[in-house]
Amino acid sequence: MSAVTTADPPASAAAGARRRRRRGRWNPPLISGLVLFGLIVACALCAPLLTSQDPIKQNLAQAFLAPGAPGHPLGTDSFGRDVLARMLYGARTDLQVGVLAVVSPFLIGSLIGLVAGWFGGWIDAVIGRVVDVVIAFPFLVLVIALVFAIGPGTTSIYVAITLVGWVAYCRIVRGQMLVAKEQEYAMAARASGLPTWRILLRHLLPNVVLQAVIFSMSDIVLTLLAIVTLGFLGLGVPPPTPDWGTMIQEGQQFILTKWYMSTIPGLAVVITGLALALIADGIVERANQ
């Protein structure tokens, strides 16, 4: 009933609302996500402190040690490399690529979306067509094809993900822009005769970018998945650099007898994904306050 919204909240309700607002700012998903993600990042950063093993050095005499072996808490892989060290250094690789690979699609996509939404007309139509075309490709398929064409390596992964990933941000920001430019503050800014770039960057961007930021949180999860998947398919970060996807793939051949070889890096991906998803959820909740 409208009574709920129109009535003046009495003292007790006001306190409740304050409580709820405070909970919204630092809500449980956000806190637990940040703590979990912080731990993972700390592990990755402190890798040399947490293990003295070299993640790349092979020792075939010590291959296939089960978790719990002396000096190798998580065992060794088929080349006798220490799994714990590979997990920790793998976290460095995957997190770095995952986070960085979201930055340029975010910037480029948001900027193009801003332009398309503001100017409309033929500019918008052309950009819209390009977006339609890129979106017709499954994300992973086009990324793989691009990585293949450009050649293996971390740089081509960045380039490929940027070339495919910008469209999502473009769509989000364009949609927000169409609404925002009809708002009174946008009209007022326009009427004041400010230069267009200033209106766009100073007045409109801050208002339209929130949804893109929210999306970028879950996009990091999807990008991380894409990178790990590339590693699994043998198209990711080139060996011998440790990477969780490659580790899962190497373990798959021995799945019946050495089930933990694939399971451990897989769980690491799931937990990292969970941490990021919790942060994304928390940010959405916070934005909804």
Considering the rule CB under 8 A, would residue 228 count as an interface residue with other proteins? yes
Position among 8, 70, 121, 191 found at the interface with other proteins (CB under 8 A) = 8
Considering the rule CB under 8 A, would residue 213 count as an interface residue with other proteins? no
- Name the minimum Å distance from CB 117 to other proteins: 20
Interactions with other proteins, residue window 104-143 (CB under 8 A): 129-130, 132-142
| Closest C-alpha among 27, 28, 35 to residue 286 | 27
Considering the rule CB under 8 A, would residue 161 count as an interface residue with other proteins? no
Output the CA–CA distances (angstroms, integers) from residue 193 to 106, 112, 115, 198, 200, in the order listed: 29, 23, 18, 10, 13
The DSSP-derived string for 225-270 is: HHHHHHHHTT-SSPTTS--HHHHHHHHHTTTTT-THHHHHHHHHHH
* Side chain identity, residue 80: G
The rounded distance, in Å, linking the Cα atoms of 9 and 243 is 54
Residue position matching structure tokens 């970018």: 209
Considering the rule CB under 8 A, would residue 233 count as an interface residue with other proteins? yes
The rounded distance, in Å, linking the Cα atoms of 19 and 25 is 10
- Name the minimum Å distance from CB 11 to other proteins: 9
Site string for other proteins, 255-284 (x = CB under 8 A): xx--x--xx-xx--xxxxxx-xxx-xx---
Q: Which residues lie near other proteins (CB under 8 A)?
A: 1-4, 6-10, 12-13, 16-17, 20, 29, 129-130, 132-142, 144-146, 148-151, 218, 221-222, 224-225, 228-229, 232-235, 245, 248-249, 251-252, 255-256, 259, 262-263, 265-266, 269-274, 276-278, 280-281
